[in-house]
Amino acid sequence: MTRRHPALPLAVIALAALTCAVTGCRRGEPTSTVEITSTAAQELEVTGATLSLPTPMMGAAYFVVENPGATADRLLGIASDQAERAELHETIDDGGVMRMVPRPEGLDVPAGGRLELAPGGAHVMLVNPSPKDGAIELTLTFETHEPIVLRLAVPETQGDAGASDHDHMAHEGDGGQGS
C-alpha cells in the first residue's frame, strides 16, 4: 500500500504556480482568438485576449478591458467550468522578490481608461485547465457591467517555457475567486 503525503497535491500546485509565475505563464509567443458571446449592449470592450497553457496543471489568460465610459467599474472575478479554479492574480516586486498574489477584491477598470492583464502583472490564473473543443470559456464578472463571456482558443503552437531573469518568486495563498 502506497501512502501519499497529504501536502503533496498542494506542493505540486505550488510548483506549477511558481513555474507559471517565473515564465510569465507563457510558452513561446502564444496567440489566441477570442470570441465575446455576451449579447448585452457593451460599454466595456475586451481586446487582445490570449491564453497560455505552460503546463497541464496551470494556465493564464491575458486581455485588456477598455472602458470608454464616464463611470469606473471593477473586474470582480473570473469563472470557468473548464478549470478547477480561475482567479485574478498580480505579480508584484516585494523588495526584490517577485510574488504572485491573489486579488480577490478585484481590479479597477478606470473611467475613460483600461485595465491590462499581461505577463508579469495582473492576470487570470487557471488551475488545472481543461479545454473543450480547442478553447476555454471564461465569464468575467464586473461590479456594475453585465458579465462578459470570452471563448479563448488554445494556441496551436507553443515552444519551450521561456527563461526569466527573476531570481526568486513566491506565491501567496490559494484564495481568490473560485469558479
What local confidence, expressed as pLDDT, does residue 29 receive? 42
The amino acid sitting at 158 is Q
87-110 pLDDT, tens digit per residue, is 999 999 999 999 999 999 999 999
Residues 43-91 pLDDT 10s: 899 999 999 999 999 999 999 999 999 999 999 999 999 999 999 999 9
Mean pLDDT of 26-40: 46
The position carrying cell 461590479 is: 143
In DSSP notation, 37-61 reads ---SPPSSEEEEEEEEEEETTEEEE
Strands 73-79 and 34-36: unpaired
CA angle at 107 for the pair 74 and 31, rounded to the nearest 5°? 105
Instruction: Kindly tell me the burial class for residue 9, based on how many C-beta atoms sit within 10 Å of its own C-beta (0-12, 13-18, 19 or more).
Output: exposed
Q: In this predicted structure, what is the pLDDT of residue 8?
A: 40
Instruction: Show the domains of the chain with their CATH numbers.
Output: 25-156 (2.60.40.1890)
- List, for residues 117-142, the tens digit of each pLDDT value: 999 999 999 999 999 999 999 999 99
Residue 7, pLDDT above cutoff 90: no
Band of residue 156 on the pLDDT scale cut at 50, 70, 90: confident
pLDDT confidence tier of residue 111, bands split at 50, 70 and 90: very high
The arithmetic mean of pLDDT across residues 146-154, rounded, is 96
- 119: nearest Cα among 161, 74, 73, 179: 161
| Coil, helix or strand at residue 63 | strand
Closest residue by Cα to residue 53 from 79, 76, 81, 83: 83
